[in-house]
Amino acid sequence: MNADYVRTVQLLLAVAPAVFDTPAFAMKGGTALNLFVQDMPRLSVDIDVVFVPHGLPRPEALDAISAELAAAQARIEALGFPAVLRRSKDGTEAKLFVSDGVAEVKVEVNFVFRGTVLQPERRALTPAAQQMFSANVEVPVLSTPELYAGKLVAALDRQHPRDLFDVQLMLASGGWSEDLLDCFVVYLAGHNRPAHEVLFPNEKPLDVVFESEFVGMTSAPVQLGELVTTRQRLLHELPRALQARHRQFLLSVVRAEPEWQLLRHAHIAELPALQWKLQNLMKLRKNADKFKFQHDELAARLARAQ
């Protein structure tokens, strides 16, 4: 493994307890999957955070997130690590950057997708990570199906080798469970891009980013061809794994007439990302042709993926 990545993970594990010393935060993303669920098949160098409460109005939620990040900054600095909190001019985004003078870790909270589909759970660092880093850290993380649901959307959207590697392990360890697909359609429906563009993307080149941002991260060598094959499986299998109710739910959201009862978790109707998406779709209705195109394109592509 690349020594720079190892040093960054050491810093990440040193500050993670300070970040998650609050019931308002839970970990998501590659760090949660690879250090707290899977037994460290690869390193991960960022801390991606979910703001767990979903019921606060947007202004109060953004203020609460900023306050929680400021509190985390104070706890981290008390450990002896410089930390800088950078906010966007409009106040809708904030990231915390932590350094030990050599490595840097970014702590980022998703301001839009607040709340969770399933209940988060506390997890300890996996045995391989405990042994390598001589650490025993326990943090709240999203449930495994929800972690992978978010990862699937990221893999479709970004097509980054790290995301495709995580999907490769998911496919090898179980595949398309009902909980996973329930969470996936929620995350897809709440995405800022049209659902058909995310679920049926054009393939992006992988070779340059594979060499510059992936090689050296894994515990065992990975070939680029493996990730290309994983992407092919993802693009072919995932749309076909969706049940009729998942497809109907996605189409209902794109019509701005969500049929919440099609999913098993009633509170998803209250999730801010979905409410925000519906507001934007209602505005898009003024452009009747574009509004209809998004629905018809998703319907046609889902019909072909049978």
In terms of Cβ atoms closer than 10 Å to its own Cβ (0-12, 13-18, 19+), residue 118 is middle
Distance separating alpha carbons of residues 74 and 81, to the nearest angstrom: 10
Domain boundaries, given as residue ranges, for the chain: 3-142, 147-304
CA 261 to chain centroid, in Å, comes to 24
Structure pTM? 0.95
Distance separating alpha carbons of residues 266 and 280, to the nearest angstrom: 22
Distance separating alpha carbons of residues 103 and 277, to the nearest angstrom: 37
One-letter amino acid at 127 equals P
Give tens-digit pLDDT for 238-285: 999 999 999 999 999 999 999 999 999 999 999 999 999 999 999 999
Q: For residues 162 and 90, which has the higher predicted lDDT (pLDDT)?
A: 162
Give tens-digit pLDDT for 126-169: 999 999 999 999 999 999 999 999 999 999 999 999 999 999 99
| Answer CATH for 3-142 from 3.30.460, 2.40.128, 3.40.30, 3.30.2310 | 3.30.460
Helix spans in the chain (H): 3-19, 29-32, 58-78, 127-133, 144-158, 161-173, 178-189, 195-199, 207-213, 224-241, 244-254, 272-284, 288-304
Distance separating alpha carbons of residues 19 and 169, to the nearest angstrom: 27
